[in-house]
Amino acid sequence: MNKRLLELIRISNTVGQDTSLVQGGGGNTSVKTDDAKYMYIKASGTALKNMNSKRGWRRLKTAAVQDIFADKSLPKMDVSSRELEVVNRLLRTCEDDVSGKVRPSVESPMHVVLDKCVIHLHAIAAQAYTSAKNGKSEVLKLFKDEQFPPLWVPYANPGFELGHKVFRLVDGYVKKHGRKPSVLFMQKHGVLVASQSADGALELVRKVISRCLAGLGQSEPASRLSATKEQIENCKHNITKALFEKTGRKTNVGFCLNRTVKQFLAAGHPWQMLRAGALTPDEMGFVDSPILWLKNCKYQTVAEKVRTALSKNQALPNSFLVKDIGLFVAAEPALASAVRDIVVASLFIRRNAHNMGGINALSSGQRDFIKNWEAEKFRVQLAANGG
Ligand SMILES: [Zn+2]
């Protein structure tokens, strides 16, 4: 097998195991061939930890991807037809033996313009900064001794707009510093590192994460909270019942009380930190309704909260944080662990961003774009499956 593909699988599997670095199918990785003509990149919809020699990646022609972003007609197109066009063009840049219409990551363009090995993560330690109001200045402070500072990427809608923005910003960085950035902090999104070698990229991940964590300072000690079995079962029962009342379906409800959840519950005003809506496009994909705060787990309390959420035209809530007890997640078994990991990540980011200077969540306009874009992606998926 190609050596670069082997490297891609190795770095993907390494970072993909750690839910503080990526959750669900999030994040992506790429490795370019030595002549830089091709780039192996994670396929859309596969988890990094599940990538292997047969699946989870595509090989595309780098020059062809560059051409898409040099095309002056695309920025002028209306959003929905443009996003569809970009997905189709990205598919046509693929040159490999992968059967079917497995799509390369929509974030491929960001990878093409950077050094040989790229790792993009939704790493909570970095996201505490990218989701904080004063995140940019805190990041620059954190890396002030570096000759080549990280590149801060202001929020852009996912898909073409983000790719386009990264293209322009990297270009500007090269003009200023004489080389490409090796660390990119992407507002309300995540972090990206690039290096000429796979080990160099992994090392950079470790360095960036440990520096971010150190900057977050001492985290409050987790409280010695412990819920009884009866309390947990009672909560599960009442949440299931309240959701059943709305859907007519029995949903699987799971419980989680790890260090992050305990720290969040022990913080001064946990409900305030939940008020801000989804933090990132990724969070929106899994948790379309705010994480609900419950002062207690009585049936009436849960039912009332669910009713209120629905009356505000929000999606059916799937995560519930109960005072003094813990986190409950209602999701289909196949999605349960991904939703839990995303919610736990969100709790970590919210608490730290709040402490840093305030949470900077997605605006309603940014959320609307993602809703439409997701619908678009779904159509594309259907089209892809239908041939
Ligand atoms: Zn991402």
Gap from CA of 238 to ligand 1 centroid (Å): 35
Distance from the alpha carbon of residue 304 to the mean position of ligand 1, in angstroms: 35
Q: What is the pLDDT at residue 254?
A: 96
Q: How far is the CA of 293 from the centre of ligand 1 (A)?
A: 27
The DSSP result for 191-243, as a single string, is EEEEESSHHHHHHHHHHHHHHHHHHH-PPPPPP-----HHHHHHHHHHHHHHH
pLDDT for res 106: 80
**Which pLDDT value is given to residue 387?**
31
The 10s digit of each residue's pLDDT in 44-86 is 878 999 999 988 999 999 999 999 888 889 888 888 888 888 8
| pLDDT digit string, tens, across residues 109-144 | 889 999 999 999 999 999 999 999 999 999 999 999
Q: pLDDT band at residue 386, thresholds of 50, 70 and 90?
A: very low
Res 219: pLDDT: 65
Query: Is there a common fold for 3-217 and 229-356?
Result: yes
Q: What is 3-217's CATH topology?
A: L-fuculose-1-phosphate Aldolase (3.40.225)
Question: What mean pLDDT do residues 315-335 have?
Answer: 92
CA of 326 to the centre of ligand 1 (A): 28
**Whole-model pTM?**
0.93
CATH of region 229-356, choose from 3.40.50.720, 3.40.50.80, 3.40.50.300, 3.40.225.10: 3.40.225.10
3-state DSSP assignment of residue 321? strand
Give backbone dihedrals phi and psi of 383, rounded to 5 degrees, phi first.
Answer: -60, -40
The rounded Å distance from CA 264 to ligand 1 centre is 25
Where are the domains positioned within the chain? 3-217, 229-356
